[in-house]
Each structure stands twice: as C-alpha cells, then as structure tokens.
Amino acid sequence: MTASPDLPRPDRRAAAALCALLGSPEDLRQPGIREAAEQARDLLRSGADSDELAAGFRALDTLLRRTGDARGLVNGSRGGEVPGITPHIKVALCPGPAHCDRVARARDLLPAPHCAVNDTRMRKGRLGPAR
C-alpha cells in the first residue's frame, strides 16, 4: 500500500480533486468510494473546520489508495492544474461558497461543466495570471 501524503491546503487542491472525482462515474465504482466522497463533499459544503475537513479528505485518500487508485485524492493527474494553459484560454471556474481550485475547459457553444462540490454549474471566465 502506498502511504498517503499530507494533503496540502485541503480547502483548495483537495476540493478541486474532490470535484473532479465526483464528476467521474468510473472512479466512483469501487465499494465505499462514492460514500466517502459524498461525506467529504458534505463537510466542505457545511463549512467544517480545517481539521475535520482534512480528516475527511485523508480518509477518502486512504480509501482510494486501498482500492487500487495509486493517485489517491490529490495528485497531478486529478485536480485543478493543467500544464500548458495560457492566459487567453476560456475556462470554467468554481462559483460556489465552498470554493475549489478546479479549472475545466470551457467551450463556447456548450454550457459550463457541473461543479459537484457546490452542486451548481461552474462559471465561464478567462484564465488570468493568478491561476
């Protein structure tokens, strides 16, 4: 089993990874993953303190690794950072009060993707230098 890393800034990177996980039905098929992800989402939505939120993310990360997902919750392959994005690209950003750093591609003729953490559509915008 791979050891779980300390989850940095659980309110940002882990929230983006959680949003991507909840939006991926194939990643939720393993027993217990959907329930743990929904618990973490509920903690995030309710504004739980950082220790409680970190514990929820850590439990989900551990469960993902135990079921064979070596990426765990927070890894470069799941989450909000995409290499090669330049500031003029249109992206979908998290609109909700429980902000996550997920950045998704926003196509002109399609609606913005769904944010599973806040249960609403993401908002379209341009990728700025701060991202």
pLDDT tens over the chain, length 131 residues: 444 454 444 457 888 888 888 888 888 888 899 999 999 999 988 988 889 998 999 999 999 988 888 788 876 556 555 555 444 578 888 887 777 778 887 877 788 888 888 888 888 887 765 55
Q: Which residues constitute the domain of residue 38?
A: 13-66
Query: What is the predicted pLDDT for the residue at 27?
Result: 84
Residue 22 lies in a domain: yes
Query: What is the predicted pLDDT for the residue at 1?
Result: 45
Q: 47-80 in b/e burial notation, b at 16+ Cβ within 10 A?
A: ebeeeebbbbbbebbbbbbeeebebbbbeeebbb
Decide: pTM greater than 0.75.
no
Residue 58 lies in a domain: yes
Which 8-state DSSP code applies to residue 25?
A: G
Count of domains for the chain: 1
Residue 119 lies in a domain: no
Residue 110 lies in a domain: no
Residue 93 lies in a domain: no
CA distance 9 to 86: 24
Residue 74 lies in a domain: no
